[in-house]
Amino acid sequence: MLGHPHNLLHRLHYTHLKRVPLVMQSEVSECALACVAMISGYYGYQINVASLRRMVRIGTQGMNLKQVMELANRIRLTARAVQCEVEELDQLSLPCIIHWDLNHFVVLTKVCNGKVDINDPAQGKRQLSTIEFARSFTGIALELHPSSNFKKQDKRETMRINQLWEKIHGLKRTLVTLLMLSVVIQAAALIAPYYMQWVVDNVLLSHDTPLLMVLALGFALLNLIKTGVTAFRSWFVVRFSSALNIQMGANLFHHLIRLPNAYFEKRHVGDVVSRFGSINAIRELLTTGIVEALIDGLMASVVLIMMFLYSPLLTGVVLAVVGLSFVVQWLFYFPNRRITEESIVAEAKEDSHFLESIRAIQTIKLFSHETHRQNSWLNRYAEVINTDIQLGKLDIAETTLNDLIFGLEMVIVVYLGALIVIEGELTVGMLLAFIAYKNQFTTSILAFIDKILSFKLLTLHLERLSDITLHTQEDSPGQASLPLPVKGHIKVENVSFRYFDQAPWVLNQLSFEIEPGESIAITGESGCGKTTLLKLLLGLLSPTTGTIYLDGIDIQKLDKTTYRSHLGSVMQNDTLLSGTLSENITMFDSPYDEERLKESCRHANILAEIQRLPLGFYSLVGDMGSSFSGGQLQRIFLARALYKQPKVLCLDESTSHLDANNEAIINQHVQQLNITRIIIAHRAETIASATRTIHLEKPQ
């Protein structure tokens, strides 16, 4: 099968220097997108996961092989699926996509001497033995080759640094101020070597004590000015850094909190936190990195001219050594970038696992799974430590080479400089001044190179941040407005929904109408789309086809915030937030209406129980739990929904933990409110409380 001539032709690789780029997945289900991006990038079609995500909709279950082939075809890659054994891996056209562990895709990049190299979009670059590879390999590979109309291009969507500049108030003015202060500091540093030269050449030889005093006082004053300006600049940087952090953090969180609900459902919480944390690296470079890079570059240029005036020969030696050091730093940049990315991903996974363990601590204890969970966390933590070790080894190797290079440079410069002094072309003071300038030059130019490489490394953080910033917000402000007062009339017209292309329909051509004040029970077996329907009504999801109307207005044309202000809801996964009971029920409304708070609790039949608490409404609660039972929590959530004084109330199994008496009391109270109610229920008592029932069935 693998000996087909077409396959053998593509096994001929003429460019051995090309590397398969590593692309990490953003969502749990995006491994296939990342693999396609890697191989297309290898052939010259640069595209990232964000761009591919806009080309195809995928669900939380990911993509199958057929969908991957169709996606590859859309970017002009010819796909060919093959079945092979581990022994036949060297016959595959590399790079290719490998089906992994029955639920994952990786890219096979190299097979050599019993070792297999893969790019895992979830874990990074890995080298495995054929035995280790065989444990996860399913026997399916997908070879991708450029088609006849394939074109090399760059379609990557990413955030650029100038996009941050445009949104930050006062950045340019502050950078100019920092630049001016830095120029003063560097000018003082530039003059400093003359002190040694003048003392050696003019004072020591002539024993001119008055001149020595003048020089000492003058340069002491210069040093005092430099120290004062440096301290002022440092304080200025601290103030600006704090203001910048607030602006950037506020802008990013403003965007993040307005992303669709589906964005958070497809990502681990640790990964979202890690991506948000990339803002710190960007902030540091924006506050000092840009100015320092400009100053270091300018300083290096000026000092280089000074060095040439002293000795072109010695300057040439220094430039040659700096060039060699740059080559060393450039060679270390690529593995450093790769391992840094792996380190960020490993930390995100460890954070997610840690948070997940804390949240699920009751389940872990009930199943006596503490040791297993600990070992699982240790494995992820070990990955973090291992990447730190790899970065440390790279840093040690780079530092050692640079120390060796510049140690030899000093020996050569002193040796040649001494010969030049002996020949009378330089004085001793001039040689000492040259060495001082040389040290300034190497410090500045190395810092400049390091900043440039840091800016290149910044693209890594920008790419991670792009997953947040380039993701479309839930919606833009709607053009339509609801006629007031809102009545609560709902009409669902030919609504169909599925989570991604080619997925089975969850709802298909569903139509019904709910009159204002009517109580509707939604019934049906598990998995028939009841909760999905409720999310559509709440605007958390958008219909694939069809329209939902509130009081005759298409809800897709309404601003989501305004629309939801007229709706109350109790969902299955509702949580409390850190704060008091009153803050949670009023959703931190300030100031809140105390009478409305008590009235909503009375309707939810929870008022008396709250008042019996030692701190009453001021009792502290949080997302990690409280002393409330499941039934009490459901009534608190219902009180929170009723506090909004909604015109439509959506309830998803909101009384499943209540006894019949409590449920009857609540139903009686809510009926008196004369609001539209949509209730998902399985219990006969709950269904009986509705005026009408809509039964859902799974689409065929």
Q: DSSP letter string over 650-690?
A: EEESTTTTS-HHHHHHHHHHHHTT--EEEEE--SHHHHHTS
Selecting among 31, 96, 528, 650, the annotated active-site residue is 31
User: Pick from 693, 695, 635: which is nearest to 667 by CA?
Assistant: 635
Asked whether residue 446 falls in the same domain as residue 332, the answer is yes
Q: How confident is the model at residue 194 (pLDDT cuts 50, 70, 90)?
A: low
CATH number at residue 452: 1.20.1560.10
Where is pLDDT greater, at 167 or 246?
A: 246
Alpha helices in 360-427 (DSSP H): 361-366, 370-422
Residue 50, exposed/middle/buried by CB under 10 A (0-12, 13-18, 19+)? Answer: buried
Asked whether residue 67 falls in the same domain as residue 195, the answer is no
- What pLDDT is attached to residue 168? 67
**Considering 154, 170, 201, which residue would you say is the last residue of a domain?**
154
**HSE-up (13 A, CA, CB side) for residue 596:** 15
Report strand pairing: 676-680 vs 519-523.
Answer: parallel
Q: How confident is the model at residue 8 (pLDDT cuts 50, 70, 90)?
A: very low
Residue 413, exposed/middle/buried by CB under 10 A (0-12, 13-18, 19+)? Answer: buried
Between CA 384 and CA 123 the distance in angstroms is 11
In a domain, 431, yes or no: yes
Where is average pLDDT lowest: 1-5, 45-49, 351-355? Answer: 1-5
- What pLDDT is attached to residue 586? 94
Between CA 120 and CA 262 the distance in angstroms is 24
Rg (CA), the chain: 34
Asked if 185 and 230 touch (Cβ cutoff 8 Å), the reply is yes
The one-letter amino acid code at 94 reads: L
Asked whether residue 261 falls in the same domain as residue 165, the answer is yes
Give CA separation, 414 vs 303, 410, 434, in Å: 18, 6, 10
In a domain, 700, yes or no: no
Asked whether residue 104 falls in the same domain as residue 165, the answer is no
The whole-number average pLDDT for the span 210-219 is: 78
Token reading at 498: 């599925």
Return the ∠ at Cα 668 (arms to 666 and 672), rounded to 5°: 115
In a domain, 414, yes or no: yes
Report strand pairing: 567-570 vs 648-652.
Answer: parallel
Between CA 99 and CA 92 the distance in angstroms is 14
User: Pick from 63, 83, 59, 61: which is nearest to 74 by CA?
Assistant: 63
Where is average pLDDT lowest: 5-9, 368-372, 486-490? Answer: 5-9
What is the 3-state composition of the chain as percent helix, strand, coil, each rounded to the nearest 5? 55, 15, 30
The one-letter amino acid code at 348 reads: A
Between CA 683 and CA 632 the distance in angstroms is 18
Asked whether residue 497 falls in the same domain as residue 463, the answer is no
**Whether residue 3 has pLDDT greater than 50:** no
In a domain, 485, yes or no: no
Asked whether residue 174 falls in the same domain as residue 252, the answer is yes
- What pLDDT is attached to residue 690? 87
Instruction: Supply the angle between the helices 65-74 and 31-42 in degrees, to the nearest 10.
Output: 40
Return left, alpha or beta for 588; rule: phi > 0 is left, psi -120 to 50 is alpha, else beta: left
Asked if 37 and 48 touch (Cβ cutoff 8 Å), the reply is yes
Is 528 labeled as catalytic in the residue annotation? no
CATH number at residue 531: 3.40.50.300
In a domain, 121, yes or no: yes
Q: How does pLDDT run across 280-298, given as a tens digit for each residue?
A: 888 777 776 777 777 778 7
The one-letter amino acid code at 380 reads: R
**Considering 138, 154, 170, which residue would you say is the last residue of a domain?**
154
- What pLDDT is attached to residue 559? 85
Where is pLDDT greater, at 547 or 299?
A: 547
**Whether residue 197 has pLDDT greater than 70:** no
Token reading at 566: 């007229």
Asked whether residue 167 falls in the same domain as residue 76, the answer is no
Asked whether residue 150 falls in the same domain as residue 218, the answer is no
**Residue 174 C-alpha from the chain's centroid:** 28
- What pLDDT is attached to residue 240? 77
In a domain, 364, yes or no: no
**Whether residue 341 has pLDDT greater than 90:** no
Total structural domains within the chain: 3
Asked if 128 and 118 touch (Cβ cutoff 8 Å), the reply is yes
- What pLDDT is attached to residue 161? 67
Instruction: Supply the angle between the helices 428-469 and 269-284 in degrees, to the nearest 10.
Output: 150
Domain enclosing residue 624, as ranges? 490-695
Average pLDDT of every residue of the chain: 84
Q: How far apart are the first and last CA of the chain?
A: 38
CATH number at residue 101: 3.90.70.10
Q: Is the overall model pTM greater than 0.95, yes or no?
A: no
Q: How does pLDDT run across 473-498, given as a tens digit for each residue?
A: 886 555 677 778 889 999 999 999 98
Q: What percent of the chain has a predicted confidence (pLDDT) above 90?
A: 30
In a domain, 191, yes or no: yes
**Considering 121, 137, 154, which residue would you say is the last residue of a domain?**
154
Residue that is written with structure tokens 């103030």 in the block: 239
- What pLDDT is attached to residue 251? 84
Q: How confident is the model at residue 5 (pLDDT cuts 50, 70, 90)?
A: very low
Asked whether residue 218 falls in the same domain as residue 305, the answer is yes
Residue that is written with structure tokens 């009159």 in the block: 515
- What pLDDT is attached to residue 9? 39
Asked whether residue 143 falls in the same domain as residue 167, the answer is no
Q: How confident is the model at residue 60 (pLDDT cuts 50, 70, 90)?
A: low
Task: Give the H or E element holding residue 554.
Answer: strand 553-554
**Whether residue 195 has pLDDT greater than 70:** no
Asked whether residue 274 falls in the same domain as residue 402, the answer is yes
Asked whether residue 146 falls in the same domain as residue 167, the answer is no
Q: How confident is the model at residue 560 (pLDDT cuts 50, 70, 90)?
A: confident
In a domain, 480, yes or no: no
Return the ∠ at Cα 430 (arms to 441 and 213), rounded to 5°: 105
